[in-house]
Amino acid sequence: MNQKSFNDLLTRYQTGNCTEAEKLWVDKWYHNLNNRNFKDLSSTELDEMQDNIWLKISGAQDEVVKPVKIKKLWPKFAIAASITIAFLIGGLYFANYNPAEEAFISENGDIALISKTNDTDRPIIISLSDNSTVTLKPQANILYPKVFAANKRMVYLKGTAFFSVSKNPKRPFYVYDQKLVVSVLGTSFWVKSSTEKMPAQVAVRTGKVKVQENEKSSLFGLSTEKLARPILLTPNQKGIFNDHKLNKTLVSKPIPLAEAYNVPSNLSYNFKEKSIKDIFETLSEAYGIEIKSDHEQISNYTFTGDLSKKGLYEQLDLICGTISSKYYIQGTSIVVSNKH
């Protein structure tokens, strides 16, 4: 590849117009370019290096347009131009550098990786080598091995995707993104990468997943003290990452466990003079969510009505409307209160 072709490739990479194969090649080239261990540098050296890069970039054009009248100086200017180009490449590198993604590529250096972006306006399904499937939302990208390693399965996600992971206790499945690492054995869940407006999120449909902060999310690594405390999520629970903290709550549309696992259920939602306490127990069993009241009087009320074919929150709205109460989400539980 000549210099012109190389510069053209870097330009297309920066503007997002290169192919997936070219992007993967440039990512690996960047990784090799950056094989210096930044952890060995002092904070002063790091600040000086960053200042020098941006000073060289901002001053590059001024150096280029100055006329050279003394021919004997051209070797020095050639060297200066080469240094300037090096800093420009370095600036481009830092602008596009994703430490978490580069760490993933490095860890899978001996495995053939496939990069897939959903350029359509509808979700697409990708089948992985272990029979797991990924439903990739529009504009999302996934980086995954053509064939998984023998001891673990790892993918890297940018965007939003739904994972249905085949169960294999001997080969745990890991989903990496810029902020989080999600580890499972066999389950189904949503992962949404962080954006400028929304924090990273993980929502579980079936099974159990462990969510932790990606310690490689920073160029210089994160200390153990700064990392968020890992959390475990079960069906209808959601983890939200923000400011090095992972919090648990409920998903926006809980699904009955029987529906999620595609198994029959004998639970009935058609209640006749049923105590609120018994109704809460039925709904808790159906959704795997603790539903409780903050006052004993609420449990003694009764309710009559058909709550079939309604979502959990709509069911609770109807119940609370008849007993003049309200409900609120407290962590991963729902509390019904008669306090206004």
Model pLDDT for residues 95-121, shown as the tens digit of each residue: 455 788 888 988 887 888 999 999 999
Determine the Cα–Cα distance for residues 275 and 25; give it in Å rounded to an integer: 64
* pLDDT category of residue 60 using cuts at 50, 70 and 90: very low
> Are 141 and 116 in contact, with CB atoms under 8 Å apart?
yes
Q: Residues 232, 284: one domain?
A: no
Angle at alpha carbon of residue 251, lines to 246 and 307, rounded to 5°: 155
What is the pLDDT, as a whole number, of residue 52? 53
Record the tokens describing residue 39, joined without a space: 């952890």
Model pLDDT for residues 314-337, shown as the tens digit of each residue: 999 999 999 999 999 999 999 999
What is the pLDDT, as a whole number, of residue 41? 46
Q: Residues 58, 128: one domain?
A: no
Domain housing 65:
3-97
What is the pLDDT, as a whole number, of residue 220? 55
Q: Residues 120, 242: one domain?
A: yes
99-107 and 20-33 helices, crossing angle to 10°? 90
Q: If you average pLDDT over residues 188-203, what whole number do you get?
A: 92
* pLDDT category of residue 250 using cuts at 50, 70 and 90: very high
Model pLDDT for residues 282-310, shown as the tens digit of each residue: 999 999 999 999 888 898 899 999 999 99
What is the pLDDT, as a whole number, of residue 5? 62
Q: Is the pLDDT of residue 91 over 80?
A: no
What is the pLDDT, as a whole number, of residue 53? 46
Round the average pLDDT of the chain to a whole number and report it.
Answer: 82
* pLDDT category of residue 75 using cuts at 50, 70 and 90: low
What is the pLDDT, as a whole number, of residue 9? 67
* Domain CATH for 220: 2.60.120.1440
Which of 97, 132, 155 is the endpoint of a domain?
97
Q: Residues 115, 200: one domain?
A: yes
Q: Residues 114, 82: one domain?
A: no
Q: Residues 93, 109: one domain?
A: no
Q: Residues 241, 283: one domain?
A: no
Q: Is the pLDDT of residue 54 over 80?
A: no
Which of 226, 250, 274 is the endpoint of a domain?
250
Pairing type for strands 153-158 and 173-176 reads: parallel
Q: Look up residue 146 and give its DSSP letter.
A: S
Q: If you average pLDDT over residues 178-186, what whole number do you get?
A: 91
What is the pLDDT, as a whole number, of residue 122? 97
What is the pLDDT, as a whole number, of residue 70? 45
- With 0.85 as the threshold, say if the pTM is over it: no
Q: Residues 116, 186: one domain?
A: yes
**Worst-scoring range by mean pLDDT, 38-47, 103-112, 217-226?**
38-47
Q: Residues 238, 131: one domain?
A: yes
* pLDDT category of residue 215 using cuts at 50, 70 and 90: confident
Determine the Cα–Cα distance for residues 217 and 98; give it in Å rounded to an integer: 8
Which of 193, 228, 250 is the endpoint of a domain?
250
Residue 245's CB is within 10 A of a number of other CB atoms, namely: 12
Pairing type for strands 200-206 and 237-242 reads: antiparallel
Q: Residues 275, 192: one domain?
A: no
Give Cβ neighbours of residue 174 (< 8 Å, ≥ 6 apart). 152, 153, 154, 155, 181, 182, 183
* pLDDT category of residue 83 using cuts at 50, 70 and 90: low
β-partners of residue 116 are 142
What is the pLDDT, as a whole number, of residue 182? 96
Q: Residues 116, 212: one domain?
A: yes
pLDDT: is 81 or 296 the higher one? 296
State in Å, rounded, how far the first CA of the chain is from the last one: 71
The whole-angstrom distance between residue 87's C-alpha and the CA centroid of its chain comes to: 31
- Provide the domain count of the chain: 3
Among candidate residues 141, 197, 193, 130, the one with its CA nearest the CA of residue 166 = 130
Q: Residues 203, 84: one domain?
A: no
What is the pLDDT, as a whole number, of residue 177? 93
Determine the Cα–Cα distance for residues 108 and 1; give it in Å rounded to an integer: 25
